[in-house]
Structure 1
Amino acid sequence: MESDKKIKLSLILGSQSPRRKELLSWLNLPFEIITADLDEISNESEPTTIALDLASQKAHAVFEKVSGTAYPFVVSSDTIVVLDGKIYNKPKDSNEAREILSELSNRTHQVVTGVSFLFKDLNSGKVREHLFYDSTEVTFNEITPDLMDFYISTGDSLDKAGAYGIQGPSLTFISKVNGSYSNVVGFPLDKVVGELKIILGDDWRLFF
């Protein structure tokens, strides 16, 4: 991709998640946060396509807000938890969180994160979208009643897909992770870096 030296890419994270903010900050790239402000509803039926569709919806909603920016580069993602084809979203309350965790207890489930890059091509100026996903298997030990009560009492389950966050007290019952840890957090950092290199090559320096 050829580029003019005066061009500067504006990296925008389309998420209010503090966990995604922290992970992206590890790349030491300057970025701003703009939220999508939309209902997360997808007409897709498969977990992977649902995650990709929702990530794309978020990216387009954010891109509309920054369309006047010369070269915006929006990154959005969506994470879902899946067991036997059933999708687990964020629980509405502690009772639903308990139900979800009871179903995941002593089982291996999948965490799927869809990611969208929405940006203006440096050569043509046209808007392009690049979609990809990652999937990680997570195995829970049996969540005993006392452990369940403890975890629910922490409040950690209420704002996360699948009613748990891998970087918190849920580590007391997570026995195995097969795949990307950061993907379970909600932002597959290794894949994000790899896909940025594919899309931008040496032009990633234009974020500075």
Structure 2
Amino acid sequence: MKQIVLASASPRRKKLLQQINLPFEVHPSSVEENYNPEWSPGKIVKELSLKKGKNVATDFSSALVISADTIVTFEDTILEKPEDANEAYDMLTQLSNNTHQVYTGVALCKTDQINNIAGTKTFFEVTDVTFGKLNPQDIKNYVEGGSPMDKAGSYGIQDDFGAIFVKRIEGDYNNVVGFPLHSFYNTVRNFAGEFLPNPGN
């Protein structure tokens, strides 16, 4: 029986896939997120997502494994998940009144009946996000609430204050949340359409 596996513990990615009525199981990858710092942001998110997908794929037969990775860049610097509250505060202060980029890479791995990887497909999406001028007290309150700590760039566009910070976006909103649904659906339809349910069902 064909099955779909999400190789991510992200509750945001889980929710987005549920939104399109995709039946799937969650089995997070355990790989280290190491990469060559000389790679472009697009290559980084594609390579990391593929690494995560391959790590999980060989545990399943006749499956489609979905994996993803998101990074935030500002002025050619990658802003990862913050190490502590001070770093989160500094990141958000940097982003205040500026435009940054959110890259999400997605990897699709198909396996055969004996758990071998039969095919892979990767892509990435980039969205420009512009913050308004942030009030230092608002940043402090947001950081103290703990929300930035598990997010690249120290914010979530779907969060309380995270949503307030964002003045404008150019590109896919869901990509900023952590998973580009539009590109994903169209890529899966071409690469592994047999795994997709009928729209609306």
TM-score for both structures, normalised by structure 2:
0.91
Letter in 2 for 1:34: H
1:11 matched to 2:10? The reply is no
Per the alignment, residue 41 of structure 1 pairs with 34
Q: Distance in 2 between matches of 1:188 and 1:63?
A: 21
- Measured after TM superposition, the shift of residue 30 of structure 1 is 1.4
Per the alignment, residue 196 of structure 1 pairs with 188
Per the alignment, residue 87 of structure 2 pairs with 96
Q: For 1:92-111, what per-residue CA distance to the aligned partner results, in whole angstroms no more than 9, with x for missing partners? A: 11101011111111100000
Per the alignment, residue 107 of structure 1 pairs with 98
Cα distance change on mapping 1:175 and 1:126 into 2, 3 Å: closer
User: 3-state DSSP class of the match of 1:92?
Assistant: coil
Q: Distance in 2 between matches of 1:49 and 1:102?
A: 27
Q: Distance in 2 between matches of 1:126 and 1:145?
A: 49
Per the alignment, residue 30 of structure 1 pairs with 23
Q: For 1:34-64, what per-residue CA distance to the aligned partner results, in whole angstroms no more than 9, with x for missing partners? A: 0111211012521000000110110011113
User: 3-state DSSP class of the match of 1:65?
Assistant: coil
- Percent identity over the alignment is 38
1:139 matched to 2:133? The reply is no
Q: Is the 8 A contact 2:58 2:111 kept in 1?
A: no
Q: Is the 8 A contact 1:10 1:73 kept in 2?
A: yes
Q: Is the 8 A contact 1:121 1:128 kept in 2?
A: no
Q: Distance in 2 between matches of 1:37 and 1:203?
A: 25
User: 3-state DSSP class of the match of 2:119?
Assistant: strand
1:129 matched to 2:120? The reply is yes
- Measured after TM superposition, the shift of residue 198 of structure 1 is 1.2
Q: Distance in 2 between matches of 1:142 and 1:151?
A: 15
**Greater Rg over alpha carbons, structure:** 1
- Structure 1 unmatched runs, 5+: 1-7
1:156 matched to 2:150? The reply is no
Q: Distance in 1 between matches of 2:117 and 2:95?
A: 44
1:172 matched to 2:164? The reply is yes
1:51 matched to 2:45? The reply is yes
- Measured after TM superposition, the shift of residue 200 of structure 1 is 3.0
User: 3-state DSSP class of the match of 2:175?
Assistant: helix
Q: For 1:79-129, what per-residue CA distance to the aligned partner results, in whole angstroms no more than 9, with x for missing partners? A: 00011110011001110101111111110000000000000379xx86110
What value does the CA root-mean-square deviation take over the aligned residues? 1.9
Q: Distance in 2 between matches of 1:89 and 1:126?
A: 30
Q: Distance in 1 between matches of 2:194 and 2:26?
A: 24
Number of aligned residue pairs: give it: 195
